[in-house]
Structure 1
C-alpha cells in the first residue's frame, strides 16, 4: 500500500492532488520493471516521427545530388516545390479519417495501417523507373505521417505514467531528428556512387527505423482512456494496474486515475451527446484551444525552418557553399546537433514550463534570423567567402533555438490541452494546419529563393515578431496539471474533476479510499 506522498514532490509535473497518491517507496523508476517496459513502449512510439524527419532530410540531401536532378528532369521552381510538398498534401487529406478512426477503433490499430503505406511509398520511390513513380511514392509516404503523427502521440499521452507524461510526449517530435540524422548521413555516404543508387539507397532506407520499432507497435497496450470511453473498464483498470502500479491491485494511484478519467469522459459526454468537428469551436475554451492548435501548426513551419529543412542546399548555395560533400556534411552534422538540442529541451518541459520555452525559442530564432539575413545580404554584395562561411554557425544557432520549443512542444502541448472526447480531432486540427503550412511553404520557398534569394529571409523576421506577440498573449502555462485537470485552464474551475476523493461513484461503481485512509 502506498503511503501518502509529499504534495511538493511532483506538483510541478502533475499538480498537488495527483502528487498525493503517487508511490513514495524511494525506488527510482528505472529500477521498476513495469515502468521500464512502459517507457520502452513510449520511446518506441516517439520514433514513429522519424519517418517524417527522414523524408525532410532525405529530400534536402537529394537536392544536393546531380544524379537525382538528372533522373527527375532537372526540376525547379513550382515543380520542385510540388515534388517536396506532395507528401504534406497527402498527410493533410488523410487526417480527418485518422481522427475518426482514433475515436471509433482506438489509437493502436491505426499504427499498423501506416506501415502498409510506408512500404508501398518507399518501394515506389526507391525502385521506380520514372519521375511520376517517384512523385506517387512521395504521395504514399505522406500517409504514415498522418497515421503515426496523430495516433502515436495520443497513445503516449494517454498511456504514460503521470510524472513521465509531459517529457515522453515532448520526446515524440524529437524522433524527427533521429530520422533526419539517418537520412542525412545515408545521403552523405552514397554521394559519390555516380549512379542512381546515390539516391535510391537513401529512399529505400526510409523503412529502417519503422521496421525496427514494429515489435513495439504490435505489443504496446491500447489507451486506457479509449477503453474507458468505450465501456471497457476492466481492461483499462488492468492496463493501469500492470503498468502504473506494478500489478498492485490495491493501488490508490490506479483508483485515482480511474475515477478521474471516468469523471472527465462522463462530463465530456454529458456536454456533447455526440462529438463533431464543430465542437472544436463550440465554446470559448474550445475556441482558445483551436486557435492554439491552428496557429502552433502554422508557426512551427512559417518561422523559417521550412527553408532550412527542405532547401538547405539552396540556402548554402546563396552564400557560396556549392560542394556536394560540404553540403551533405553540413546537413549531417546539423541533424546530430538538432537531436541533442531537442532531447535536452524535451527533458526540461516540467522544470522550465511551456511558456518560457516558447518565448526563449521564438526570441532566439528572431535574433538568429536577423543575423543570417544580414550576413547573407553582405555576401550577396561582397562575394566574401568568409562572410558566406559565417552563415553556417548561425544556422546551427537558429536551429538550436527552434529545438527549444517547436520540436518538443508542437505535439505535446496540443495533446495535453484538449479533453479526451476532442483530443483526436484537436490533434488532427494541428496536423492539418501543419501539413497545409508545409505544403504552402515548401511549394513557395524554391520559387521565392530563386527569384529574390536572401531577401526572402526578411519575410520570416516579420513572421517571428508576430509569433512572439501571439505566444505572449494567447499561450497559457500548462505545467502542474494532470491530463484530466488541464481543462480548468481553458474552461474554468467548474471543469475540475479531481479524483482525490475516492468514495463511491454512482455511475462507475468504484469504491475507493481517501488519501487519509491509506496514509
Structure 2
C-alpha cells in the first residue's frame, strides 16, 4: 500500500482527474435520462481501479474505529433478538402462563401478546421520517430510551393489559432504533465491506436470542419455586443493551450521507477520511465518494411520502423498494413459536424445549455471521436464491416428519422433523438474516431511504402481525399442513428473487441509484458486477 501522502498513478481512463470528470458527465446524463449502464461504467471503472491499485488497509486505524463503532450499534440488534426469543421462551414457563391466565396451547389470547409487538412496530414506523430531521444518531438514542421505559412497564406488570401496553411501548421505540441503526451502518460503511459490516448487524439478533433463552433457562431451573422471578428477571434484562447504547451513542459521528443531505459537506468529508481511508485526506477514494454523494442529491428537492408512489420520482421500474422484501417476515415464526412447534411433535419437557431454543439460536448466529461475509464475496442474489431453495426443501421434510409423528406415532419421523427445523434455521440465517435490514436500505436512493425504510417497517409489521397472531391458531388447527403452505411460498419467493432482485455487491449507494434507472435494473446490476470484476482483475495485473 502506498504511503499516506502519495498514490500510484491510476491506469487507463480511471485516473483521479479523469474519474471526476467522467463522474460529472455520468451524473449529468443520469438526470437527463440517458442510457444508465453506459454512463455508470466510467464511475465503476474508477472505483474498481482505485480498490485494485490503492486499496485502503481494512486493518488500519480508521477501519478499527469503524469496527468498534459498528460493534456498539450491533447491540441494537441484540436488544431486538432478546425480546423476540424472550417471549417465545417465557411462553413455555408455567409460572408466566398461570400468572396472566394464558392457555398452554396456542390461541388468540397467546397470539395477541406476541402480535402487539408488530402493532407497535407499525406505530413506530410512522415516525421514521424523523431520521431525516434530527439525524440517525438522535433517532437511535430516543429509541433506546423508549425501550428502557417499555421494559420497566412490562417487568412491573400486574395484569395482562399492562403487560401488553408495555410491550407496545417497547416495540414502538425499538422500531425507531432498529430502523435507524442498520440504515446508519449502510450509509457509513465503505462499499467493498458494506455487506459484511452492515450485514453483521442483524446477526446479533441471535446473540440476543441466546442471551434471552439462556437467562430464561437459568431462571426457570433455579428460581421456578421463587414465585414469578423466573420470568420477571429476564424481562428486566431487556434494558441492558439499550442502556449501554445510550451511554455512548452521542459520541459517534453522523452518517456522511445525512450530512450531505443537510449541506454539511466538510463534516462528511472528514468522516470519509477518518473511517474509509485511515486518515489519509489525499486518497483518491475521498474525492470519488464525495463527488458521488454530492452530485446524487444536487438540484433534487427533499423527498416526500408521495414520492414513494411517484414513478417519475422514485424510478420504480422493478420492485426496488423494501416492501418487496417483506415476505421474509413470514419465516420469523420459528423464533417465536419453536416451543409450540416442538409440542406438536411430542417434545413437552420445558427444560428440553428451552435448551433446543438456545441451540437453534446458536446455530443461527454461526451461519448468519458467515453469511454476512459471503454476501460480499458471492453476491446478494446467489445467496438469497440458494437459501430460498434450501428452505423449501427443509420445510418439506419438516412437514413429512411431523406427519409421520402425528399420523403414525413414528419417533424417527419426529427426530427428522426436529433436525430439519434446525436445518431450516441454518439455511435461512446464512442468507436472509444479514440482508433483512440491509438490502432494503441499499436499493433506495439517499433522499428516499428514511421514508422508504418507514414504509418497509409498516408493511413488515403488518405481515408480522398476521404471522404471529395466526401462527399458533394454524399450528393447532392444521398441524403439518402449515409447513406445506410455506413450501409453496418459498418456491414463489425463489422465482421472485430471480426475476426482480438487483445485485448490490461492491456498488456504492450512488452507483445503485444509477443502476435503478436502467430499463432492466436486474440485468444492469449483473452486468455492472461483471464489469467491476473485469476492471479489478485488469488493474491488478497492471
TM over 0.5: yes
- Structure 2 counterpart of 1:68, from 96, 100, 114: 96
Q: How far 1:208 sits from its partner (Å)?
A: 2.2
Name 1:166's counterpart in structure 2. Answer: 195
- Structure 1 counterpart of 2:307, from 270, 279, 282: 279
Q: How far 1:168 sits from its partner (Å)?
A: 1.0
Q: Is the 8 A contact 2:321 2:444 kept in 1?
A: no
Structure 2 counterpart SS, 1:29 = coil
The answer on 1:81 being equivalent to 2:85 is no
Report Cα offsets for 1:417-459 as digits up to 9, x if no partner. 1110001112222222211111110001111112222222222
Name 2:140's counterpart in structure 1. Answer: 111
What is the CA–CA distance in structure 2 between the aligned matches of 1:397 and 1:362, rounded to whole Å?
A: 13
Name 2:500's counterpart in structure 1. Answer: 474
The more displaced of 73-82 and 254-263 is 73-82
Name 2:17's counterpart in structure 1. Answer: none
Q: Is the 8 A contact 2:319 2:500 kept in 1?
A: no
Q: TM-score, normalised by structure 1?
A: 0.88
- Structure 2 counterpart of 1:29, from 58, 64, 77: 58
Q: Is the 8 A contact 2:148 2:243 kept in 1?
A: no
Q: How far 1:47 sits from its partner (Å)?
A: 2.6
Q: Is the 8 A contact 2:212 2:234 kept in 1?
A: yes
What is the CA–CA distance in structure 2 between the aligned matches of 1:152 and 1:79, rounded to whole Å?
A: 32
- In 2 relative to 1, CA 6–144 (structure 1 residues): closer, same or farther, beyond 3 Å? farther
RMSD (Å) for aligned C-alpha atoms = 2.5
Name 2:527's counterpart in structure 1. Answer: none
- In 2 relative to 1, CA 355–400 (structure 1 residues): closer, same or farther, beyond 3 Å? same
Name 2:172's counterpart in structure 1. Answer: 143
Q: How far 1:18 sits from its partner (Å)?
A: 1.6
Q: How many residues align?
A: 485
Q: TM-score, normalised by structure 2?
A: 0.84
What is the CA–CA distance in structure 1 between the aligned matches of 2:520 and 2:232, rounded to whole Å?
A: 57
Q: How far 1:199 sits from its partner (Å)?
A: 0.7
- Structure 2 counterpart of 1:196, from 228, 236, 249: 228
The answer on 1:386 being equivalent to 2:412 is yes
Name 1:457's counterpart in structure 2. Answer: 483
Q: How far 1:461 sits from its partner (Å)?
A: 1.6
Q: How far 1:369 sits from its partner (Å)?
A: 0.2
Q: Is the 8 A contact 1:281 1:290 kept in 2?
A: no
What is the CA–CA distance in structure 1 between the aligned matches of 2:165 and 2:317, rounded to whole Å?
A: 38
Q: Equivalences for 1:180-259 in 2 at 5 Å?
A: 180-192=209-221, 193-194=223-224, 195-259=227-291
What is the CA–CA distance in structure 2 between the aligned matches of 1:387 and 1:134, rounded to whole Å?
A: 38
Name 1:445's counterpart in structure 2. Answer: 471
Structure 2 counterpart SS, 1:51 = helix
Report Cα offsets for 1:447-493 as digits up to 9, x if no partner. 11122222222221221121111111111222232111012321029
Structure 1 spans left out of the alignment, 5+ residues: 9-13, 497-515
The answer on 1:484 being equivalent to 2:513 is no
Q: Equivalences for 1:125-144 in 2 at 5 Å?
A: 125-144=154-173
- In 2 relative to 1, CA 339–288 (structure 1 residues): closer, same or farther, beyond 3 Å? farther
Report Cα offsets for 1:280-305 as digits up to 9, x if no partner. 232276434656521311x2122xx2
Name 2:385's counterpart in structure 1. Answer: 359
What is the CA–CA distance in structure 2 between the aligned matches of 1:295 and 1:255, rounded to whole Å?
A: 34
Q: How far 1:336 sits from its partner (Å)?
A: 0.6
What is the CA–CA distance in structure 2 between the aligned matches of 1:239 and 1:493, rounded to whole Å?
A: 34
